[in-house]
Amino acid sequence: MTTEPPYLRIAGEIRRRIESGELGPGDPVPSTRRITQEWGVAMATATKALGALNQEGLVRAVPGVGTVVAESGRERATTPARQLSRELVIRTAIELVDAEGLAALSMRRIATEFGTSTMALYRHVPSKGELVRLMAEAVFGSGPTGPRPTGWRPHLEREARWLWKQYARHPWLARSVAGLTRPMASPNAMQYTERVLAGLAGLGLTPEQMLHIHLTILGYAQGIAMAVELESQARQDSGMTAEEWMTSMEPRMAAVQTTAAYPVLSTFFGTDDFELELGTLFEFGLARVLDGVEGLVEGARPGVRP
């Protein structure tokens, strides 16, 4: 007797939930990480299971949400190999990873999105690593619009906020771009660096100081952006928003509040005066970082004002 491959067994169970109405149109299906936990399989097997369902037209990827039940029928027609292009592969990969996270990305999974073979993709993108680089390069292909602000500080604020917007829109981006230790040799990503350094030119700073300022801001934005990716994955895994999760944790928080171990921290619980929001946190930290840069600029060139 032939044993059914694990990914087909998992796909069959999710298909049953869809056909029975347990999962309706627009409902999220188990993420790749949830599948690995629920069925005890490897990430590659989970990816193949969702890929099989996608190829059947039963599910689709929704950026920022994850994989959901398709509204009706085969929502994605197969794409003949002759119609594939590098740009189409990159755009599809970005949509998939925006929805499901970087762990869901594989050449096999992208191939199932088009209903074609993995070999057909290799004609356009040589490897998964190169695909991730091209995805990041595509995101960095745009930049802030409008005239350049006057003054180094408004200039750096605009660039940092543009970068934060890309990280918030594409949670996978911060982890895929190791800009501090292994910068990418990518023209579009280097254009961001060039814009930041141009805003620092002529201030009396040394090249080392200019580069360190750029990397400090980049590292700060990446660090906060990691929380965006973690929250996106946590939402897929738990099925709860951050607010719903906090509500579920209230009994534990209340228990902690009654102890004397955290006399300062416990005063934060149960109050509506403070709510952690990543965008607000980013702006707070950015202002403090630039305050430090301001002192450096003034020391390097007296009389310069932000």
Give residues with Cβ within 8 angstroms of 66, minimum separation 6.
Answer: 28, 29, 31, 99, 100, 235, 236
Centroid of chain to Cα 59: 21
- pTM, entire model: 0.70
User: Model confidence over 171-186: pLDDT tens digits?
Assistant: 899 888 765 556 666 7
pLDDT band of residue 242 (cuts 50, 70, 90) is low
84 vs 291, residue with greater confidence: 291
Beta strands in 167-264 (DSSP E): none
Over residues 47-73, mean pLDDT: 79
pLDDT band of residue 120 (cuts 50, 70, 90) is confident
pLDDT band of residue 67 (cuts 50, 70, 90) is confident
63 vs 228, residue with greater confidence: 228
pLDDT at 179: 57
CB atoms within 10 A of CB 164: 22
- The rounded mean pLDDT for the chain is 82
pLDDT at 259: 63
Question: What is the phi/psi pair of residue 117, to 5°?
Answer: -90, 155
pLDDT at 76: 47
Task: Give the range with max mean pLDDT: 26-35, 107-116, 149-158, 167-176.
Answer: 149-158
